[in-house]
Amino acid sequence: MSTLIPTLGDHVVAKHRASHSTRPGPSLHMNDAPKPRLSRSVEDYLKAVYTITERDESASTSALADMLDVQPASVTGMVKRLAECGYLEHSRYRGVRLTEDGAREALRIIRRHRILETYLHMHLGYSWDDVHPEAERLEHAASDILIDRMATILEHPSHDPHGAPIPTPSGEIEISDFLTLNDVEPGTSVQIRSVQDEDPARLRYLETLGLVPGVRVTVKERAPFDGPTTVSVGSREDAEVIGSDLADGIFVIPAPGE
């Protein structure tokens, strides 16, 4: 994948690359014509496949089962049906990928979700740890017209409260294959771009540490064998020690001036 920003230099293990560019979605504009409404379960599957394949080339049955909290046999049956409908491509040894139609619908759902999160946070007073489950419920009922009106009121935001990019109405989305804090070598300063948003308790904890999008973080040291990472946050003098699992859900870009 090409990149439009510099890597973090020799201090970074470059497992992934980041870019502030947008990648085009399907050629058909999301709102060009009325679409038949998909069921909640189908929308959840398409969104899950998109989320997993953002970091991997394909989504395995087991990965989908874990994300959706369903049995692998249920995943197998749904994947087969969605492949027959033209939303997925499935290879026995290569897993599942979205077709153009599947990507179009997945981006439509993700746009709904992230606009809802942003509206709830900016206009209804929800905290950033409350918006995800609320948006999960509302995204299946909200129409594209409602979402577009919310986006207009919000002045067309580019990112949700957790730093995740919001797809445009035409299906373009910023590439978000960023490094995680676990990839950053000691001595390197980075800026938090986004954080995983599924766990409210995790979000509340990150907020208490000041580990929120836009904040500058310097990695001081990391214990060996997948141990914790010691970081300084912003201008704070005291260092914070965070576990490997937490650091793996914090996505970063080069700090300004680095």
| Residues 6+ away with beta carbon under 8 Å from 220 | 186, 230, 231, 232, 239
Read off the pTM: 0.80
Q: What are the start-end ranges of the E strands in 60-185?
A: 88-91, 95-98, 173-174, 179-180
Contact 226, 236 (CB under 8 A): no
Q: Which two tokens stand for residue 44?
A: 């959840």
Backbone angles phi, psi at 141, to 5 degrees: -105, -25
Residue pLDDT, tens place only, 27-69: 444 444 445 578 999 999 999 999 998 877 789 999 999 999 9
Which pLDDT value is given to residue 8? Answer: 34
| Residues 6+ away with beta carbon under 8 Å from 245 | none
Q: Which residue has the tokens 């409260």?
A: 161
Residue pLDDT, tens place only, 114-128: 999 999 999 999 999
Q: Which residue has the tokens 């914790």?
A: 228
Helix, strand, coil % over all residues of the chain, rounded to 5:
40, 20, 45
- At how many degrees (to 10) do helices 100-123 and 40-53 cross? 100
Residue pLDDT, tens place only, 183-206: 999 999 999 999 998 899 999 999
Structural domains of the chain sorted by starting position, each given as residue range(s) with its CATH number in brackets: 22-174 (1.10.10.10), 179-254 (2.30.30.90)
* Proportion of the chain above pLDDT 70, given as a percent: 85
pLDDT, averaged across the chain: 85
| Residues 6+ away with beta carbon under 8 Å from 231 | 181, 217, 218, 219, 220, 239, 240, 241, 242
